[in-house]
Amino acid sequence: MTALTDDTLPVTPRAIRDEMIVFVVMALLLAAVPFSGIYPFFVMQALCFALLACAFNLLIGYGGLLSFGHAMFLGTAGYCSAHALKVWALPPELGILVGIVAAFGLSLITGYISIRRQGIYFSMITLALSQLLYFIYLQAPFTHGEDGIQGIPQGRMFGVFDLSKPTVLYYVVLVGFLAGFLLIYRIINSPFGEVLKAIRENEPRAISLGYRTDQYKFLAFVLSGTLAGFAGSLKVFVAQNASLTDVHWSMSGEVVLMTLVGGLGTIFGPVVVGAFAIIAMQQYLAGFGQWVTVIQGSIFVICVLTFRRGVIGEIAHYLRRSL
């Protein structure tokens, strides 16, 4: 990962100020969406995937760990939240909590198994575990197999906010996304985040300084998986279903695509360019059928060849700003 981050700007008051300005602008633009005439379902879906991409970026962009199975956290949280909402009739806030706890537990187990391996071995183990869960969910009675869990009630959050109203649901999803984004931002700019960056750049040196790198990587894996589960729980309210699509290996591939196109190791890249661009292509190129994946692949190849740091990464490098 050193090649992608060898010119990373140091954390300075100016860098923090620039990032806060961009965050405020992003939040204001997103808050104005219901008044702009833009289809809110598209933006809500993009926000859920943006949070997933940010969680994945925490692991690969700052921890240097490439996971090919992050969809298992998204799908597991989605299934558990959907089951809690529809079968157990829990309120929305508890349904989200069930999904987060499920993703947290899964990340503990899978992290313990995979984190002791490095490089491609780590990636292959995460892919294998994700596919194992896919086939479990395909056969498990509570997931309803290929039909998935349909007709999930949205309910009232805290007994006040009626999530069946699109505007209310949009702002609940927006608040959830901004809270998750700020948490990731705080993690990145904490002493823990600085150690993660040191491990990413030169793990043997970090070990020589006395850091137990496996513990830091394990904690990063758990945090990333839990936040990915939070995105999956929010997505249940937007789509009102939980299906095998969210657990399939192709979903993990899309998350990798979002992160690399936006900018590996950048804060806003997976959101501003990655998630919104990929979801927009899926929405507006749907008429091309199976050719959508070919178009996405072509764009990915072009971005890799022309934007080594990703779109936002190249812009940040050119402006010498932290984004």
pLDDT digits (tens, 9 = 90+) for 213-226: 999 999 999 999 99
Distance CA 45, CA 43 (A): 5
Residue in this structure with the two tokens 């349909």, named with its chain if needed: 150
What are the structure tokens assigned to 173, written together?
A: 């999803």
Distance CA 180, CA 271 (A): 12
CB atoms inside a 10 Å sphere around CB 40: 19
Nearest to 251 by CA among 48, 44, 61: 48
**What confidence category does residue 249 fall into, taking pLDDT thresholds of 50, 70 and 90?**
confident
Phi, psi of 44 (to 5 degrees): -60, -45
Decide if pLDDT at 134 tops 70: yes
**Do the beta carbons of residue 77 and residue 140 sit within 8 Å?**
no
Distance CA 27, CA 21 (A): 10
* Residue type, position 51, single letter: L
User: Which residues have C-beta within 8 Å of that of residue 105, sequence separation ≥ 6?
Assistant: none
Decide if pLDDT at 3 tops 60: no
Nearest to 52 by CA among 296, 218, 198, 253: 253
Decide if pLDDT at 282 tops 80: no
How confident is the model at residue 4, as a pLDDT?
A: 41
**Do the beta carbons of residue 83 and residue 149 sit within 8 Å?**
yes
Distance CA 185, CA 22 (A): 13
pLDDT digits (tens, 9 = 90+) for 171-187: 999 999 999 999 999 99
In the predicted model, what is the mean pLDDT of the chain? 87
Tell whether the torsion through CA atoms of 41, 256, 79 and 51 is positive or negative. Answer: negative
